[in-house]
């Protein structure tokens, strides 16, 4: 065992008595394994914090996108409701007229109905002169068999002339004069009514 260098030895003098003095052990340097574990822990912590930050940013971005999408959907729905209502209204009108047309088509044709249609159509004329009434052949035959009064009626001194026409459906008529014509067929009246309702 070597003796310490006498130059390094010396006396330390204290001004008072030292109490509760403890010996301090020199700090030991960590081992390589401990340093590696500390580096790994620090890297893990940095990665965890970076991951949490990236996740927060991603969630915030997704939330913003979702809110934008939600606003777009609500705006589209607000704009679509009037359009859907208009389409439903148009469909209901169309359906109502289809039902009305079928109901009218299902009504049995009588002499009174045909005579009433002819008189109503003649009433629409303002300046007629000679009037030719075109009827479905079966409707004309119905009037002739019943000897309907309308067959012998006169308008401004002119007798109505009746002619059968395959272009006229049952229960309607077409009047022709030198000034024009009146289309009093059932389907024409229904279409005119539909146009009036739609516009």
Both 60 and 82 in one domain: the answer is yes
Residue 84 lies in a domain: yes
Both 173 and 192 in one domain: the answer is yes
Strands, sheet with 132-135, edge to edge from the N-terminal-most edge strand: 161-164, 132-135, 173-177, 180-183
Both 113 and 167 in one domain: the answer is yes
Where is 184: in which H helix or E strand? none
Residue 14 lies in a domain: no
What pLDDT digit, counting tens, does each position of 17-36 carry?
667 767 767 677 778 888 88
Residue 13 lies in a domain: no
Question: Around Cβ 165, how many Cβ atoms within 10 Å?
Answer: 18
Both 74 and 147 in one domain: the answer is no
Total domains in the chain come to 2
Residue 8 lies in a domain: no
pLDDT given at position 14: 65
Write b or e for each residue in 58-74: b if 16 or more Cβ atoms lie within 10 A of its Cβ, otherwise e.
Answer: eeeeeeeeeeeeeeeee
- Among 64, 88, 106, identify where a domain stops: 106
> Of the ranges 24-38, 48-62, 83-97, 180-194, which is most confident?
48-62
Q: Grade residue 134 by pLDDT with cuts at 50, 70 and 90.
A: very high
- Among 59, 79, 106, identify where a domain stops: 106
- Among 56, 90, 106, identify where a domain stops: 106
Q: How far is CA 105 from CA 38, 109, 186, in A?
A: 95, 9, 8
Residue 26 lies in a domain: no
Domain CATH code at residue 128: 3.30.2320.30
Number of H helices, E strands in the chain: 4, 6
Both 78 and 97 in one domain: the answer is yes
List CB contacts of 163: < 8 A, sequence separation 6 or more. Answer: 132, 133, 134, 135, 140
Both 89 and 118 in one domain: the answer is no
Structural domain including 65 reads 41-106
Both 91 and 153 in one domain: the answer is no
What pLDDT digit, counting tens, does each position of 70-126 carry?
888 888 888 888 888 888 887 887 777 677 667 666 678 888 988 899 888 888 877
Residue 162 lies in a domain: yes
């Amino acid at each position: 065992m070597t003796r310490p260098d006498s130059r390094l030895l010396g006396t330390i003098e204290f001004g008072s008595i030292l109490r509760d003095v403890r010996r301090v052990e020199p700090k030991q340097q960590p081992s390589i394994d401990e340093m590696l574990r500390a580096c790994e822990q620090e890297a893990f912590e940095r990665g965890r914090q970076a991951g949490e930050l990236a996740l927060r940013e991603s969630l915030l971005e997704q939330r913003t996108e979702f809110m934008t999408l939600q606003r777009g959907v609500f705006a589209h729905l607000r704009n679509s409701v009037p359009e859907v209502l208009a389409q439903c209204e148009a469909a209901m009108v169309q359906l109502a007229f289809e039902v009305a047309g079928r109901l009218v088509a299902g009504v049995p044709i009588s002499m009174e109905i045909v005579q009433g249609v002819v008189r109503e159509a003649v009433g629409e004329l303002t300046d007629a002169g000679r009037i030719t009434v075109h009827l479905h052949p079966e409707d004309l035959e119905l009037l002739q068999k019943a000897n309907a009064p309308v067959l012998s009626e006169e308008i401004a001194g002119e007798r109505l002339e009746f002619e059968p026409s395959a272009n006229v459906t049952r229960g309607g008529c077409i009047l022709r004069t030198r000034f024009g014509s009146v289309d009093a067929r059932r389907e024409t009246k229904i279409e005119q009514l539909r146009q009036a309702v739609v516009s």
